[in-house]
């Protein structure tokens, strides 16, 4: 068996480029650019037109990676179209989709055809060929990006009828654009071959679509049968990629067979086949969850490979020549999107306040559009690379402008639920405890003894008992709305503790997350069905039953540590500091010169606990937990208050109402 060393070398080189692409893409997200942009830029730089890390010959050898990725993109498009999720907004989805397709496709076709004389690779072509290219370009400009839309929706935690409509239209458009491209490419093939438009051609296109859909149904059934097989996720992912890759050689085989034996060219669009297969598995099998898990597992690797390969294959010189054309086409596409979304929304009877902003949510482009551009480059090698370069330039512009517009529209629609920024919480640490009962009062006394200002909030429907401690304020409320919480000063609280019913707890957590940006939210919950929603809002969940079991477990296995954490160890306490002073940035723990009877238990940074040692360097925002004697902890307060970021009078001075000066207050450096 002969080993193709050149293929192995090409794969190794491209693998290294893909690893670099992953890191560069991650960097781009940190500066608020799309991930895809980083992948494309890496491919362009490494490609044969710039740094020449990979040659044109090497790209031709790894062309099969292109086909694997394209098939997977088709699977992903079908997997996103889960019909039950869009039934409630089907009328609007139908009309807006129709409006977008008609307006964008029509305007784009006219624009490309009229600009043909200024486009280098089209200037010398006859009118029918120009029309064929314009039809394919217009089909690509109709495409959207479900992955970008889902990423923005997840980032903003957006939900509501407007969000469901936007996602439904975006996903539906992927299906429509593949069918539209299949029709356009078949017509273009006839026009480029000087055959003209004939009735037999229309029948052939319809037959090709039906055959592709039938093959997709068969492939979907096969994948549904393979999904329950007990294999490792990686092996299942490889099996899934193999299934979508086989569609391409089968389509090529049928194309050559029909041309040589039947005097007619039958071409089954592989993207359409894979999209139908994904749709069938998602909607008509019991393997939807497993299939979606595999798509999510394999997706990141496939997208890195595909977009990097697209960038490396990009005809950079042609891109520079047609950049002004791309800018014009980008503008025409925006106009088509605006006209189509407004017309579709009006036909569906949607309110004007949403119609006037909905167009901003349909600008993003990525996977399907790039995939179709690459397919044209492969199918028409004479001018396909130049065509792909021009369309990729349009897609890059859409991908740069689209996500910010999408976020703006969701904010204007009132359906984004992002975390509020931190407020200035200088002064005594404040805690709000929701629910009036024995445990809430006991907690209030304990926190007050450690220097906290505590408010116990209760609904007026609950009986309000007399509290002997004047230091604990009982606040009766009519409701738990954000406005009512704002009135009683909840925005000044460092901590929320909610001891009410789960539906009321969830309402409080949402207000803490979206309105106040409260960092410490603790929920006592008895219903596990709420736990995922609590976690999404950054709350810490306390299950009373599990808490008691865990406490007894710690008393059995480590009684000294349990007694210390519960404050049962005489003269010992545990405190947590939040570093906010920039002077501490980069300071090692060993350089803090802590008293000998204190110990740093943990440093918590970016939602992860660090392994602490003397050379661990602090960053602003770190949470540091320290255990030690009460006198030493007070000494740390007094010694370090001039540079560790203690807020004025927050922890150095005790509350004048505190009658227990022997207790060391818990304090925070936030």
CATH number where 255 lies: 1.20.1530
**HSE-CB for 84 with a 13 A CA cutoff:** 4
Confirm if 451 and 667 have CB atoms less than 8 A apart.
yes
pLDDT of residue 101: 92
Residue after which a domain boundary falls, among 382, 413, 444: 413
* CA–CA gap between residue 501 and residue 509 (Å, rounded): 12
* CA–CA gap between residue 433 and residue 448 (Å, rounded): 12
Could you tell me if 478 and 600 lie in one domain? Answer: no
The set of residues, in sequence order, having a beta carbon less than 8 Å from that of 219 and lying 6+ positions away, is 243, 247, 273, 274, 276, 277
Distance of alpha carbon 472 from the chain centroid: 43
Residue 307 within any structural domain of the chain: yes
Residue 664 within any structural domain of the chain: no
Confirm if 49 and 314 have CB atoms less than 8 A apart.
yes
Could you tell me if 438 and 395 lie in one domain? Answer: no
Residues of the chain with pLDDT under 70: 1-3, 32-34, 88, 147, 151, 154-155, 193-202, 315-318, 366-367, 417-428, 461-471, 554-555, 558, 560-571, 580-581, 596, 607, 634-670
* CA–CA gap between residue 383 and residue 188 (Å, rounded): 13
CB atoms within 10 A of CB 261: 8
Could you tell me if 538 and 593 lie in one domain? Answer: no
Confirm if 36 and 371 have CB atoms less than 8 A apart.
no
Residue 456: in which H helix or E strand, if any? strand 453-459
CATH of the domain at 459: 3.40.50.720
Could you tell me if 154 and 247 lie in one domain? Answer: yes
pLDDT of residue 496: 92
Whether the full predicted model's pTM is greater than 0.75, yes or no, is no
- Paired with 307 in beta bridges are none
3-state secondary structure of 651: coil
Each residue's pLDDT tens digit, 224-278: 888 888 777 788 888 888 888 888 888 888 888 887 887 777 878 787 888 889 8
Residue whose entry in the numeric block shows the structure tokens 């293929």: 7
Token readout for 279 is: 């749709």
* CA–CA gap between residue 359 and residue 340 (Å, rounded): 8
Could you tell me if 463 and 593 lie in one domain? Answer: no
pLDDT of residue 81: 75
CATH of the domain at 626: 3.30.70.1450
In terms of Cα–Cα distance, which of 669, 664, 654 is closest to 598? 664
Could you tell me if 482 and 389 lie in one domain? Answer: no
Confirm if 148 and 403 have CB atoms less than 8 A apart.
yes
Residue 661 within any structural domain of the chain: no
Residue 88 within any structural domain of the chain: yes
Could you tell me if 241 and 132 lie in one domain? Answer: yes
Confirm if 274 and 219 have CB atoms less than 8 A apart.
yes
Token readout for 546 is: 């599990």
Q: What is the DSSP secondary-structure string of 364-411? A: ---HHHHHHHHHHHHH-TTTHHHHHHHHHHHHHHHHHHHHHHHHHHHH
Confirm if 274 and 296 have CB atoms less than 8 A apart.
no
Token readout for 633 is: 């902890």
| Number of domains the chain contains | 3
Helices (H), 414-527: 438-449, 482-487, 502-511
In terms of Cα–Cα distance, which of 150, 154, 186, 156 is closest to 171? 150
Query: Measured over all CA atoms, what is the biggest interatomic distance in the chain, rounded to whole angstroms?
Result: 99
Could you tell me if 489 and 611 lie in one domain? Answer: no
Residue 267 within any structural domain of the chain: yes
Token readout for 436 is: 């009036």
Residue whose entry in the numeric block shows the structure tokens 């893909």: 18
Each residue's pLDDT tens digit, 527-561: 888 888 888 888 888 888 777 777 777 667 767 66
Could you tell me if 397 and 446 lie in one domain? Answer: no
* CA–CA gap between residue 212 and residue 166 (Å, rounded): 28
pLDDT of residue 662: 34
Query: Alpha carbon of 617 to those of 257, 472, 669: distances in Å?
Result: 68, 39, 16
**HSE-CB for 159 with a 13 A CA cutoff:** 4
pLDDT of residue 462: 57
Residue 658 within any structural domain of the chain: no
Residue 12 within any structural domain of the chain: no
Could you tell me if 327 and 382 lie in one domain? Answer: yes
Distance of alpha carbon 170 from the chain centroid: 15
Residue 376 within any structural domain of the chain: yes
* CA–CA gap between residue 520 and residue 609 (Å, rounded): 16
Could you tell me if 241 and 141 lie in one domain? Answer: yes
For residue 613, give its domain range.
570-640
Residue after which a domain boundary falls, among 413, 438, 463: 413
Query: Alpha carbon of 500 to those of 23, 183, 457, 522: distances in Å?
Result: 45, 59, 10, 11
- Our separate counts of H helices and E strands in the chain read 24, 10
Residue 222 burial (10 A CB sphere; 0-12, 13-18, 19+): middle
Could you tell me if 452 and 601 lie in one domain? Answer: no
């Amino acid at each position: 068996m002969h080993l193709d060393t050149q293929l192995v070398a090409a794969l190794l080189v491209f693998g290294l480029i893909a690893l670099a692409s992953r890191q560069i893409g991650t960097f781009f997200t940190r500066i608020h650019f799309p991930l895809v942009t980083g992948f494309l830029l890496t491919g362009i730089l490494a490609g044969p037109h710039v740094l020449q890390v990979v040659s044109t010959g090497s790209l031709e050898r790894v062309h099969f990676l292109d086909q694997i990725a394209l098939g997977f993109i088709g699977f992903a498009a079908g997997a996103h179209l889960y019909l039950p999720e869009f039934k409630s907004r089907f009328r609007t989805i139908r009309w807006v989709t129709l409006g977008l397709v008609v307006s964008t496709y029509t305007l784009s076709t006219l624009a490309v055809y009229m600009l043909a004389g200024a486009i280098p690779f089209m200037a010398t072509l006859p009118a029918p060929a120009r029309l064929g290219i314009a039809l394919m370009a217009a089909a690509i400009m109709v495409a959207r990006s479900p992955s970008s839309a889902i990423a923005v929706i997840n980032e903003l935690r957006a939900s509501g009828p407007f969000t469901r409509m936007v996602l439904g239209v975006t996903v539906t458009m992927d299906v429509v654009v593949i069918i539209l491209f299949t029709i356009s490419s078949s017509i273009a093939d006839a026009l480029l071959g000087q055959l003209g438009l004939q009735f037999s051609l229309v029948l052939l296109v319809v037959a090709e679509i039906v055959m592709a859909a039938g093959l997709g149904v068969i492939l979907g059934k096969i994948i549904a049968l393979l999904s329950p097989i007990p294999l490792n996720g990686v092996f299942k992912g490889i099996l899934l990629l193999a299934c979508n890759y086989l569609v391409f050689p089968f389509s090529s085989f049928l194309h050559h067979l029909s041309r040589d034996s039947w005097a007619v060219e039958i071409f089954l669009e592989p993207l359409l086949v894979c999209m139908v297969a994904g749709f069938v598995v998602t909607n008509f099998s019991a393997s939807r969850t497993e299939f979606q898990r595999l798509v999510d597992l394999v997706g990141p690797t496939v997208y890195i490979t595909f977009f990097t390969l697209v960038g490396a294959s990009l005809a950079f010189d042609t891109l520079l020549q047609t950049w002004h054309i791309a800018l014009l086409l980008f503008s025409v596409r925006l106009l088509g999107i605006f006209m189509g979304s407004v017309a579709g929304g009006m036909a569906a009877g949607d309110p004007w306040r949403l119609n006037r902003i909905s167009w901003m949510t349909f600008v993003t482009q990525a996977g399907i559009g790039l995939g179709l551009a690459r397919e044209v480059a492969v199918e028409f090698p004479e001018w396909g690379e130049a065509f792909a370069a021009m369309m990729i330039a349009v897609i890059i512009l859409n991908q740069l402008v689209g996500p910010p517009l999408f976020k703006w529209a969701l904010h204007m629609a009132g359906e984004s639920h992002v975390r509020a920024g931190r407020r200035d919480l200088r002064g005594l640490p404040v805690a709000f405890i929701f629910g009036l009962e024995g445990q809430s009062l006991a907690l209030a006394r304990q926190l007050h003894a450690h220097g906290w200002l505590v408010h116990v909030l209760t609904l007026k429907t609950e009986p309000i008992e007399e509290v002997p401690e004047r230091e604990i304020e009982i606040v009766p409320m009519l409701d738990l709305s954000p406005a009512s919480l704002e009135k009683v000063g909840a925005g000044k609280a460092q901590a929320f503790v909610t001891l009410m019913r789960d539906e009321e707890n969830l309402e409080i957590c949402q207000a803490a997350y979206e309105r106040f940006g409260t960092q410490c939210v603790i929920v006592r919950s008895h219903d596990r069905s709420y736990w995922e929603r609590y976690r999404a809002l950054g709350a810490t969940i306390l299950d009373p039953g599990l808490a008691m079991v865990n406490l007894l477990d710690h008393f059995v296995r480590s009684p000294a540590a349990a007694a210390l954490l519960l404050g049962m160890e005489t003269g010992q306490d545990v405190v947590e500091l939040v570093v906010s002073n920039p002077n501490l940035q980069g300071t090692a723990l060993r350089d803090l010169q802590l008293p000998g009877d204190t110990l740093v238990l943990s440093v918590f940074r970016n939602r992860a606990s660090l392994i602490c040692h003397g050379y661990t360097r602090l960053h602003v925002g770190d949470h540091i937990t320290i255990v030690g004697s009460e006198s030493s902890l007070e000494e740390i307060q007094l010694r370090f208050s001039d540079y560790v970021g203690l807020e004025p009078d927050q922890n150095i001075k005790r509350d004048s109402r505190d009658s227990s000066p022997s207790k060391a207050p818990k304090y925070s450096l936030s």
